[in-house]
Structure 1
Amino acid sequence: MTNLAISDLLFVLSLPLRIYYFSTATWPFGQILCMVPGTLFSVNIYSSSLFITLISVDRFLAVVYPLRSRAIRTPKFAAISCGSVWVFILGLSIPVALNHSTSYDKCQNITRCFESFSPNSWYFGFIILCLITGLGILIPFVIIASSTLVVIWKIRNEAHCSMPDNKKKITRMFIANLLMYAFCFIPFHAAFILYGLYKLKVIAYNFLDIQTITMCFASANSCLDPIIYYFVLRAFKKRKDDNLELRTLRSSV
């Protein structure tokens, strides 16, 4: 959760620069700062995706294999996993940063940012985009969806059924978490791929407006993460407390 919060915070800190550019259509901050918003946006999306995946896997192990998973569900293993994600994300951010540069618009006499991609850049960038979408979004989504469904099935089919209301709350929160991931990340990448196909002259329709709208969906992830996971963790903690209370009552009997 801490790593997810750091990822969201980095993105939020970059928003004023992006808001200024889209509201004024000019970039007065120079080349270095032009790299910051786009890079942190990518860092936020893919680090959030991978950290949410790790949380889902941890939740899956805690519910389905509570005893057998104790050896790997340790602070040390969690730190190694999170560190590996950050190393991967930082490596990914280097080419992203290098592809975000300023360009001078002679017709309007203004400097632009995020808009200096040549046809060759679009070609290679499109290949990278498809690979990243598969590795950073689609595969994590499959993992999150499958682990969430198994956890829900496990909770709903537990032998003791003394906490039906809490089970329903946990189930709703898990489903909300899955839908949030799909809503925030999948439309943006679908629209971005379609826009890339347009820039490569494969299709005729310009999906830029749709891509801009879905970018707002992706950005909303930073606002929704804390809310969703607060209620998920609170419901999950209550379930553990109820289970502990039930075991205590059984042992006393």
Structure 2
Amino acid sequence: MDRRNIQVGDYMAVTSKLPNLVSSTTAIYNNTNCSEIMKTGNPKVEIFLITLLTCVFIFGTIFNSLAVWVFCFKMKKWTETRVFMMSLLFSDCCLLFTLPFRIYTTQHPWPLGDSWCNALLSVYFMNTYMGIAVITLISMDRYVAIKFPIKARTLRSPKKAALACGIIWLVYISIRLYLALGAKWRNGESCFRKDTVMPLKRALYFTVFGSCLPMVILIFCSTQIILTLKKKEKTSMNEEKDIKKSISIVKTNLAIFLFCFLPFSTGNIVRFVIESIGSDCSLIKLINDIYYAAQGLSDLNCCLDSICYYFVAKEFWEKASLFPRFKKQLIKDQTQESSI
């Protein structure tokens, strides 16, 4: 009788654990199945990325090569503009270096191992957020120059601009080294692609503090610059024309920034939320594909930064004039840097 009671008790204990065992087994199966789904590519997104990134790499290389030639070999005087542009240029060149690898991995397995993948991911993401930070610094520098023209004489200097850029570079390099040494970033045979449905908190932190916060600062500074310039008294037709050009420059740079980085930031946040609440795998896959397309748009900034070179650094195109007979007309048409 006692033995029978023991057997019945064992049976009840086992059967009581069966639902948990089945549910955990099902969860493991679903996660495995979802991981396999995540590894499958989207042909439309792949074609879009290959086309876009190839164009970005070709034109970005051309534009940035010209910028390197002018800023490094033709310009002699160090100004705040030159310091910021040199930092932005270096960031763009580093990001361009990773694009051939990104293009290859769009349709092929990663062949170079974990170390190369982690190194390239560090370079890519560090320079993406570094570019955002430098553009924000340029906007803040303009804001100080326009809003506080008297204090700007003491607040602005090439050394202070170099110090600001140096601090940001040091912070981002330190963070990336910490992440590279303390975590494994890739899964399976992929690189530049997230194959799991686990939400990454570090991606959310970088998006909030590395993209969204600078975006708020940039919008504030740009808005204040535009309002200040509109209120400024015009003493002549030429000054009024210069102010209108300056407002157009600020609007253009803001529009470029939002076009490149707003979809990227939004996609990253939405992906984190969808993964955190445990949504259906097909929805996560769809959000991932949209995010990768938005990430490609953010890389387009490598080419569009040349507009910033053109408008912000008047002396850039003065020095870039290769043909003396066009130089007088070229200088005549440039926007006065002092007005922005």
TM-score normalized with structure 1 length: 0.81
Q: Which residue of 2 aligns with 1:7?
A: 91
Contact 1:102 1:116 in 2 (8 A): yes
- The residue correspondences of 1:1-253 to structure 2 (distance < 5 A) are 1-24=85-108, 26-97=109-180, 99=183, 101-104=185-188, 111-115=189-193, 122-123=198-199, 125=200, 127-162=201-236, 163-204=239-280, 205-206=283-284, 207-234=287-314, 238=336, 240=338
Contact 1:101 1:114 in 2 (8 A): no
SS at match of 1:23: coil
- Offset, 1:213: 1.0
Contact 1:170 1:232 in 2 (8 A): no
- Offset, 1:5: 0.5
The residue identity in structure 1 corresponding to 2:95 is F
Contact 1:197 1:203 in 2 (8 A): no
Kindly tell me the number of residue pairs found equivalent between the two proteins: 231
Give % identity: 28
- Offset, 1:164: 2.3
The residue identity in structure 1 corresponding to 2:153 is R
Q: Give the distance between the partners of 2:296 and 2:278, measured in 1 at CA.
A: 26
- Offset, 1:202: 3.3
Q: Give the distance between the partners of 2:335 and 2:173, measured in 1 at CA.
A: 33
CA deviation digits over 1:108-145, x for unaligned, max 9?
xxx332457666xx34x2x3222222211122111111
Unpaired runs of 5+ in structure 1? 105-110, 244-253
Q: Give the distance between the partners of 1:239 and 1:101, measured in 2 at CA.
A: 43
Unpaired runs of 5+ in structure 2? 1-84, 315-332
Q: Give the distance between the partners of 1:130 and 1:213, measured in 2 at CA.
A: 18
Q: Give the distance between the partners of 1:75 and 1:228, measured in 2 at CA.
A: 18
The residue identity in structure 2 corresponding to 1:171 is I
Structure having greater relative contact order (Cα 8 Å, sep ≥ 6): 2
- Offset, 1:189: 1.8
- Offset, 1:178: 0.9
- Offset, 1:58: 0.8
Contact 1:53 1:143 in 2 (8 A): yes
CA deviation digits over 1:190-210, x for unaligned, max 9?
112222333335333220121
Q: Give the distance between the partners of 2:177 and 2:119, measured in 1 at CA.
A: 11
Closer/same/farther in 2, CA of residues 179 and 96 from structure 1, 3 Å limit: farther
CA deviation digits over 1:149-198, x for unaligned, max 9?
11112222222242222222211110111111111112112112222333
The residue identity in structure 1 corresponding to 2:248 is R
SS at match of 1:85: helix
TM-score normalized with structure 2 length: 0.62
SS at match of 2:111: coil
Contact 1:58 1:73 in 2 (8 A): yes
The residue identity in structure 1 corresponding to 2:336 is K
